[in-house]
Each structure stands twice: as structure tokens, then as C-alpha cells.
Amino acid sequence: MSYNFKNINISKISVIGAGQIGPDIALHFAKSLSPYGVSVIVVDISPQALEKAKEKAHKKINKGVEAGAFKPEQAERIKNALIFSADYEQVRGSQLVIEAATEDENIKDKIFRQVETLTDDTCIYLSNSSHMQPEVIFRNIKNKSRCLVAHYFFPAEINPVVELVPGKDTETKLLNLLLSFYEAIGKVPIKVKSSYGYAIDPIFEGICQTAIMCYEKGWGSEKEIDAAAVKALGQGVGPFTALNLTGGNPITAHGLDEMGKLLMPWFKTPAALHEKNQKKENWVIAQRGEKVELSPEKEEKLVNEFRGAFFALATFILDIGIVDINDLNMACEMSLVIKAPFTFMNKLGIDKSYDLVKNFCTSHPSFPFPKVLEKAKAEGGWKLLDIVASKHEDVLLITIRRPKVLNALNLEVLGQIKNAMEEVKDDNSIKSVVITGFGTKAFVSGADINMLASLKTPAEGYNNSRTFQAVVDYVENYAKPVVCAMNGFAFGGGNELAMACTARICKKGLPVLVCQPEVNLGFIPGAGGTQRLPRIVGVEKAAEILRTARSVSSKEAAEIGLVYKEAEGDLVDEAVKLAKQIASGEVKVKTVPKEPISTNGNPKPIEIGHLSKKIDEIIVKAIYEGSRLTLKEGLDLESRMFGECLNTEDMKIGLENFKTNGPKMKANFIHK
């Protein structure tokens, strides 16, 4: 057995290094690829390290069973896929080798020269270096076109971000293939040009340097500085805690000195960090549950310093031109569990952010003021996108990319989709459009719940619905065919967007593809769900799906005509092919009727269980009265009915229950 992806066929992966991160990288590969029979070999010269790594991996797998993440048979399959060995011969026949050894260029060079004798010329070589450029690591490899850095973040089996750093000889096709491969196995890869430390570590280690410098200046204790950093930057844990958790003192000390030589002189290992390394001591941090109090004056001083440093570091990385702003913004938030820097600056105000950086650079003269920040201030803020638009011959591909919230929609994202389509509306070289989502789990997980919870009056609800509908209508009435490639589940607004497309295709075999869960939360669909679903699958079938909020599998969706077909091959390739066929007239698809549709009279009784009877009355009216109207009139009715939900107690109850308890807890509706 093997995992077939595009033009690679993987049956064996080798991970070299059983230390801090190698076993976690191997565990992620085993979790993702063991269903395909892929073997994952962990090789190390130390039997003790291998035994410890095996114990650690099995412990994590067992915890996954206890937490319900894996079934026992899945856990056994993952364990069986992992092989721990001191014999380098086990590497022979691997299609992919990832080195995760000590951050020493001579050790890495020795490993890859040995691996080169055991693998053929098609084997892909990756290094999980955290700092070194691929040109240094792979300097003695004959075929450098298949070599690059894949930098994981702690903990590697959970943290989604991977920086992919090609060398000057890396084949572009391979880089693009690996970007898609990592996405397919559940990671969030970003492309970074070769530079010491890449894009994320200079920011993380720069924050750590800032924390230690504050400590050396006597601005607070380690505990106080940690607490201030968490407050200033929205970090999951403070910098001192992060260094302790990752065992990061030695590598950070080395990295800072090297960045001082190779990036800018501000980077420098503080004396206190050298001392901790020499004594092999951890930082003094707050214990679980311990509350750290700071005086307002101390807190303000530290918060301003951390924000100035964070914004300066993020804009410095943009200044050196190694990464896209949207990639950096997203990857910082997800890899470091910190506020997305450019979104944060916009929210705080670009003028205030500018002043924080100006003050920081003034008090740190070796830190040059970032040029890109001058431009952002002049333009009134950072221009950020949650979509990626690219051209595939004569097809525009739009990918909704908000992995942290499973591609949830808000008005800003919808506006970006519309703008991307508007830009090519009159471009004769573009014949059609494909819309898809990032990753493998969700096309769109629904509408942003915080946006919905902010609505207070029926008028606000009506206007919100109409605004959503305007963009969805734009997609439906676009002059060129629009195909939706449903790469995962489409909930709520995601399905409403999909239904407005000319045609929909989905991955085959999804147990849950579509759901309109709104009645679970105490309101009704507001972006066309009550009007388009009946026109696509019939009123009675649509009413049953909408009123019960039950899910629809990919198989059922194909059977009832909600999707054109289930795709067995590469979904985007299939969608592009279908879009071309529709544009050329080779394939005709049924579109949503604009005129009134016939109904079977009165609504059939449906068991709605715990759901709100009041909301059910509203959604029944929207479905059945709307079916007797034109689509345009029905959409306006839906918006009015959506606004009416804001007069109910049950919408407040449903939203509060979701925010407090999550989607699995049933709301206690009072039917008012």
C-alpha cells in the first residue's frame, strides 16, 4: 500500500533524529498516512533516545484514545506504522526523508551524505532546521533540486504551521507539490525565501530577547514580564514559559547571535540567557493557576515595549522581502499562539502602532525603522486578504483561507471574493471561476458567530442578511460559470455560497458534507438557504433538512442533486475541468430557478425535538411562502424572517449556549 498524491507515491518516510521534535514529526506522518499503509521510520544512533521517543509517541497515541480522538484500532495502526531503529539501512527505499537532528551544520551534512547513499535520486530531502539556510545544509548533496527546509513548530504533531524554505537550486515544481502535500495531510504550509531563521523564529526569538532585556533592566520579575507579554500580545504562554517548555534556551542563544551577524545588529544574546545556558537552569515562571499582579505603571511600560517590539519585528521581516504579508500574518498567529500582527495593528490603529514602533526603534538604535510601516501608515493600514486568488490557464481559482476558524465566512471575506471576481469580469482570458476552501476538513464552516451575536434589532438582522445576500447574488449572476469545489463540509453560509454557484462538486465519501445548522442556534439561514435549497432539491426535502438541521453526506447530496458529482481524483483539478466544460458549452448544468416553484400545499409535520417551535414557525414561513414568490422576492422575505428572529428569546438563548458550551450542547429553548 502507499499514499498517492499528484505525481508522488509514498510508501516509506524516514525521520532522522529521535530528540525533541523528530518523534512528533513522525507521529503526525503516522496519524495522517497510516490508513494508506505508509511506514514511518525514526532513526537515531542512540538506543536510549529511540526508546524514549517510542515511549513518548505511544503515550500520546494512548492519550488520543482516552480523549476519543482515535478508536483503539486506529491507535494500533498508528503504532504499527512507527518503526524506531538505530540501523540507517532502514532508510533505504524511502520516498521522503526529513532530518530533525541537532542544529549543527556538520552533523546535518553528515546525515544527508549518508542518506544519499541509501536513496535514489527521486527521494525528497527535507531538513527541520529552525535557522540554517538550505544552501548550507545541503551544500554537499549532488542533486540539490530535491532539497529544502521544512520547519515545524512545537508541538509538531499538533501545531499546524510548517515553513517551506527552498534553496536556490530547489525545483519550483517540488516546492508547489510540497505546499499541496502538507495541506492535504492537515498542515498549514507557507513559502519562505532562504534567509537565516526564516520568517517566524526571528519574531519569536526577538520577543524572547525583548523579555530578557526587560528583565535585565529591572522592569519586572520573570513572572511579571511573562504576564505582561501575554496581556500585550495575546500569547498562549509568555516568552519565559515558552523557552522552558521547548527547552529553547540553547538554540535561542545561538540563533540570536547568528541573526545579529546575518540579519541586523539588534539581535544579540543577552547576558542573562548566556548565564541560564551555562548553569542549565530554567526561568522562574508562574505555576498553574498562579495569578501574577502588576502595578498599572509597570504593566503599561511592559505592554508598550512588547507591542513595539512585536510590530517592529513583524514589519522587519516584511522589509527583507522573504514572505507574503498574508502568510506571515496567519502563520504568526497559528504557530506562536499570538495575535496576528498586521490584523492587530489595524485593530489598534495604524497611527498608534506606528508610534509604538517609532518609540521602540528610538530606544533601540540598532533596530532600523521598517520602511514598509511608513507605506502602511500613508495608506491608512495594512491591506490583508483571507483568500488566495490564482490563475489556472483560463480559470480563476479562489481559495478561502482561514484555517484557524475552518474558513468561516464574514462580510469581509465575501467582499474579497467579490473583488477578486470583479477584477477579472472583463478579462477575456478568464473563462470561468472555481471557489474552494483551504485544507481538507472544511470548505466553509459557516458564518462568523461573533458577527451574528453582535446583531441587536430586526432592522440590523435584515440589513446583515441583505448584505450577505448581495455578494452571494453577485456570484449567482456572474457572467462566467462559477464552480464550487467543496473540499470538506459546508455549513450554514458555506452551503449558501456553494448553492449560488453554477455547479458544485465535492470529495467522494464524506459522511458529512452539508448542514444548515441555524435552527440549532435559534435563528434561520439568512444568505439564501431557505430559498435556493428548495429550488435545487425540492420543497419537502429542503424543509426537512432546514427544519431539523440534519447533515447531508456527499453521497446523498449527489443523489438529491445538491452537487453535480462526487470527485474521486484531485478535487481542484476536477473542478477546473468542469468549469472549462461548462464555459465551452460541452456540459450543461441545471441552475437555480428564478421563478416561483410549485409546492405540495401545507407543510408536513416534522419531529423537531428540542428545537425552538418559535423559530420553526419562522423558517416554515420563509420556505413555503418563499417558494410561491420569485427568487428575488423570496430572498427579501428570508431577510425579513431572519430579522424577526432577533425579536425572539430563543435566538439569544441559542447563540449564548453556542458561545458558552459549543455546538454539541443542546440549547434549552423556551419557544418564545
Task: Report the catalytic residues.
Answer: 496, 518
For the stretch 158-180, what's the b/e string if a residue is b when 16 or more beta carbons lie within 10 angstroms of its beta carbon?
ebbbbbbbbbeebeeebeebbbe
- All three cell numbers of 352: 498608534
Q: What is the DSSP letter of 447?
A: B
DSSP per residue, 376-416: HHHTTS----SEEEEEETTEEEEEE--GGGTT-B-HHHHHH
Rounded distance between C-alpha atoms, residue 475 and residue 493, angstroms: 13
All three cell numbers of 486: 467543496
CB neighbours of residue 120 within 10 Å: 11
Alpha-carbon gap, residue 19 to 16, rounded angstroms: 9
DSSP assignment string, 279-331: HT-----PPTT------HHHHHHHHHHHHHHHHHHHHHHHHTT-S-HHHHHHH
H helix or E strand, kind and range, residue 212: helix 201-216
Work out whether strand 39-43 and strand 82-85 pair parallel, antiparallel, or are unpaired: parallel
User: Do the beta carbons of residue 97 and residue 16 sit within 8 Å?
Assistant: yes
Task: Let me know: does 286 contact 223? Beta carbons within 8 Å.
Answer: yes
Q: How many CA atoms lie within 13 A of 207 on its CB side?
A: 31
Q: Position 310: which residue type?
A: F
Residue 161 host element (H or E): strand 161-166
Q: Which residues contact 447 (CB under 8 A, 6 or more apart)?
A: 408, 409, 410, 468, 492, 493, 527
